[in-house]
Amino acid sequence: MPGLLILLIVLSLNFSKAQNVSFTGEFKQSNLIIGYAADLDYAKLDGIKLLSDNGYFVFGFDRDSPLIHYLTVKLKNGKSIVKKIELAKRRYKIQRINRMKKKFVTPPPKELARIKREGKILKRARSKIGVNASAYYLSGFIRPVKSGRITSVFGSQRILNGVPKNPHNGLDIAAPTGTPVYATADGIVRLTGKNFFYNGNFVLLDHGQGLSSIYLHLSKIDVKGGKYVHKGEKIGEIGTTGRSTGPHLHWGVNWYGKRIDPASLLKLDLKHVRSIGNKLSSTN
């Protein structure tokens, strides 16, 4: 695959050079891409208009995304550029977990109403993230736990006590209870949850333009809803609340319902994109 990868990078570089559109990110399933065009009017992915902030826009691809997409970049001078995107296909691991409490593999009927209610609360919070055009994510991204061991990567097909379940939609970092958890990027605290059935105690951050990150199973929450947090600011502490078999952080990233691999954020070269763009008024 390295050959294909290099080809994709060269293609995107040629594209950006020729058309004054720059990108950071790898065109691959479950990855996040940040784009910039100085003279941007709007960008569309597969015909759907993206939010933008001073020429910056973000988009991502789901775990099992189709491989062909079309990005349209409309400039203020009326010029329209259409870019065909061919994603690299990813392979995912199979992960067996046999110590999960029975109630978490198949939730008991008495918990179903609660699970539904909690799902609605999360959905409502996510819908607000989808209309916020500010590109807070331009702060760049860090790993939310400094130490710790990655115990489960993104995308693994999970088999809980022998029962096939949904793929793992985040990155798990195991560390002792009380270990600080930091904001991966600038953003607004869109929701904090106490003792949810699956998530336990958690924080949901809004990084703008549909991009969010979530931090699950916390023992302690240090922030309140509505607060602006900076990249690296402490938002809570590691715990094992909710569906969890031991102290760890489940770090999830989402773009309009698309499950993004958090590891892809750490590879983005924001300096490169930012150096091309103007200084933004919406971030600090």
Binding site for Zn ion (CB under 5 A): 170, 172, 250
Measure the CA–CA gap between 8 and 87, rounded to whole angstroms.
Answer: 9
Beta carbon nearer to Zn ion, 207 or 250: 250
CA-nearest of 104, 95, 99 to 243 is 104
Distance of closest approach, residue 104 Cβ to Zn ion, in angstroms? 12
Beta carbon nearer to Zn ion, 151 or 282: 151
DSSP readout, 38-92? TTEEEEEETTEEPP-BTTEEEEE--TT--SEEEEEEEETTS-EEEEEEEPBP---
Distance of closest approach, residue 145 Cβ to Zn ion, in angstroms? 13
In the bound complex, which residue of the shown chain has the CB atom lying closest to Zn ion?
250
CA-nearest of 104, 131, 279, 107 to 211 is 131
What one-letter code names the amino acid at 175?
A: A
Scored b (16 or more CB within 10 A) or e, 228-259 reads ebebeeebbbbbbbbbbeebbbbbbbbbbebb
Measure the CA–CA gap between 147 and 139, rounded to whole angstroms.
Answer: 21
Distance of closest approach, residue 154 Cβ to Zn ion, in angstroms? 9
Beta carbon nearer to Zn ion, 16 or 199: 199
Beta carbon nearer to Zn ion, 7 or 163: 163
Beta carbon nearer to Zn ion, 172 or 186: 172
Q: Which residue has the tokens 């773009």?
A: 255
Beta carbon nearer to Zn ion, 81 or 150: 150
Distance of closest approach, residue 193 Cβ to Zn ion, in angstroms? 15
Beta carbon nearer to Zn ion, 126 or 250: 250
Residue 146 gets the label, from left (phi > 0), alpha (psi -120 to 50) or beta, of alpha
Distance of closest approach, residue 228 Cβ to Zn ion, in angstroms? 27
Measure the CA–CA gap between 167 and 254, rounded to whole angstroms.
Answer: 14
